[in-house]
Structure 1
Amino acid sequence: MSAPLPQRLAAEALGTGLLVAAVIGSGIMADRLTDDVALALLANTIATAAALFALITAFGPVSGAQFNPAVTLVFLIKGGMTRNEAAARVAVQVLGGLCGTLLAHAMFSLPLWQAAGTIRSGTAQCLAEGVATFGLVLSILGAQRAPGSAVAATVALYIAAAYWFTSSTSFANPAVTLARAFSDSFAGIRPADVPAFILAQLAGAVLAAGLAGWLFRPGAGTAGK
């Protein structure tokens, strides 16, 4: 990455904040417009996927558009950045996410600070978060080898699918999870359920990083050619 560190950190903060605003804001809008939960989730899915594609495309050339402490951890493990930069990225991702929550609430004339009441607990949902993050990280690392905007499209499409095939609706991001704990809305998560989600997300990310190191190693897929 050629951008200086301040620009990289600004891109991570802005991208995460706008992503959270899209997730929470579209959830609030959908909840106001329909009583059909499936339709509301579909609207939330489309808005989130569209925002992901746009934000990754825009900020990717600046910071790599990670917007996710679990993804940052993976790139730290793979030697893609220093510990100091990784820590700074995580800090601005969390801060940006919280600002995105406040922005979403402000746009809909809601109290800025809220405690979410939506219960998202249990083994099944934690497993779902591990699976969601595992698949996200594996998809990112695999798509990096493809040309053009493959990563942006891959992430957007994967998250859109994971909204529907996971019981947790695929948070797959510790910073976004924490930000959503402060929104008592369609997209919220009870603060007490946040630690288990984050642990599952980090476990899924680390497992994916380990598998990707073998699966996508140089020369993989050339046997028999």
Structure 2
Amino acid sequence: MADLSAFPITTRWPAANPNIIQLYSLPTPNGVKISIALEELGLAYEPHPISFSTNDQKSPEFVSLNPNGRIPAIIDPNGPDGKPIGIFESGAILLYLAEKTGKLIPTDAAGRYETIQWVFFQMAGVGPMFGQFGHFYKFAADKVANNSYPMERYRDESKRLLSVLEGRLQDRQWIMGDLYTIADIATFPWLRGADVFYGGREVLDYKSFPAVMAWLERCIARPASEKGLNIPQRPA
């Protein structure tokens, strides 16, 4: 039986099975990246929902694993050299899981770095810009009712990023061609979220990006996506 006592987070969210990966998350665009990857990889894991309504992510127990106070985070009891390891930041977790299993990433060095650069493209561009767009479009619309600049700025930058993806996906099934990778998993939940959560499909003019839309549908239709998009279940 793995000993996870070195991780204070397990005192608040005890592991029913400490021998498998512990996932601390919520079904947000960043959170579902990891549940989808775990489902794709067939790795056993135990999800622990982190409630934003009670600021679980700011609790001392959670911050002990992720000092930044953001989901997702994991503990892998079978980390490097067989020792438990805790990891935060969705991009870092995706890369860790891919390298742990040798899946969802090319095996050659050039392909590996090409994939990583597209993961960074999501982390540095798509996530922050789509998130800011959604904030001003859905949640802070009343605060900027007399100033259209914030929403327009992030709308236009999000559309620019969509155009970059549109170019990349011309005649490609996935971002890396024939291989479905962590680059796809990192990116598509944000495009889906901008539609189903923020209601921004029309404002972002999704119909003008047919290659992206076809790719998004392929990503969502994967069995691992259908399951992972709803894990963990939101607290009641």
TM-score, normalising length: structure 2: 0.25
Larger Rg: 2
**Would you tell me which structure has more strand in proportion to its own residues?**
2
TM-score, normalising length: structure 1: 0.26
